Amino acid sequence: IDATGKLVAPGFIDIHTHYDAQVFWDGNLSPSPLHGITTVIGGNCGFTIAPLEMEHGEYLMRMLARVEGMPLTSLQQGVPWGTWRTFGEWLDCIEGNLAVNAGFMVGHSALRRLAMGERAIGNHADDVELATMTRLLAESLEAGGLGFTSSWATSHNDAQGDPVPSRHASRDEMIALASVCRNYDGTNLEFIPTVGRFEQQHVEILTDMSLAANRPINWNLIAVNLS
């Protein structure tokens, strides 16, 4: 291969993707490989489709269609809903079927919907619900999840126009779930505390989550403000 005048680089790692459903109908995870990406990380912003109970599948697919612009028809027809419940079972469904290396975080909105049902919208978690979420997260990390993700972004609304489940979480809930990662080496955090300018409260929640987990935290979004 004549690389004269070319920039030679190893495969790139894309740490923020939303391939969690696309893995079932597009094992190539296009268009990532076309851009030299050889490893992708999914499950960002609290949006995953595992762990899952069948009665929550409709809500999650319509949420994904709204917040990430995924075609609802593809989600309905291209995903074998009902073939998994746990995060580990979902990973087993896609094992060996992807063209690039892939790892997936565990999403807060899925945890909340499973633990709280319809109470996930508009309510803080009670002690029992929070204990259920921490257990589900621990089980998911044990099965191969790479960490915990969530979002308080005001742009993240579900199909009914309500804030997604993670936006109803208290600060204490965020810290408790982040702290689960402390027990699992190699895990990470990803969180969108707001859209737009960060205030002191956003810096503090990011710091406290990272300290509770003893893990790095990837924050979003960084935007250029020309005003």
Q: What is the pLDDT of residues 32-51, one digit of tens each?
A: 999 999 999 999 999 999 99
Summarize pLDDT for 119-146 with one digit per residue, the tens: 999 999 999 999 999 999 999 999 999 9
Q: Is the pLDDT of residue 219 over 70?
A: yes
pLDDT band at 227 (very low <50, low <70, confident <90, very high): low
* Angle (nearest 5°) at CA 29 between 24 and 35: 175
Sign of the Cα torsion 177, 137, 187, 93 reads negative
How large is the C-alpha radius of gyration of the chain? 18
Give the number of other Cβ atoms within 10 Å of residue 195's Cβ.
14
Summarize pLDDT for 167-188 with one digit per residue, the tens: 999 999 999 999 999 999 999 9
Q: Is the pLDDT of residue 216 over 80?
A: yes
Q: What is the mean pLDDT of residues 64-91?
A: 95
* Cβ pair 104, 91 in contact under 8 A: yes
pTM of the model: 0.93
Look at strands 188-192 and 217-219 and give their pairing: parallel
Q: Is the pLDDT of residue 220 over 80?
A: no
Q: Is the pLDDT of residue 101 over 90?
A: yes
* Rounded Cα–Cα distance for residues 185 and 188 (Å): 9
Q: Is the pLDDT of residue 103 over 90?
A: yes
Higher-confidence residue: 139 or 3?
139
Q: Is the pLDDT of residue 222 over 70?
A: no
pLDDT band at 8 (very low <50, low <70, confident <90, very high): confident
Mean predicted lDDT score pLDDT of the chain: 95
* Rounded Cα–Cα distance for residues 61 and 169 (Å): 21
Lowest mean pLDDT among 73-77, 91-95, 191-195, 221-225: 221-225
Output phi, psi for 17, to 5 deg.
Answer: -130, 170
Residue 74 burial (CB < 10 Å; 0-12/13-18/19+)? Answer: middle
Return the pLDDT at 211.
98
Q: Is the pLDDT of residue 221 over 80?
A: no
Side by side, the strands of the sheet bearing 217-219 are 106-107, 147-151, 188-192, 217-219
Summarize pLDDT for 23-34 with one digit per residue, the tens: 999 999 999 999
Q: Is the pLDDT of residue 224 over 80?
A: no
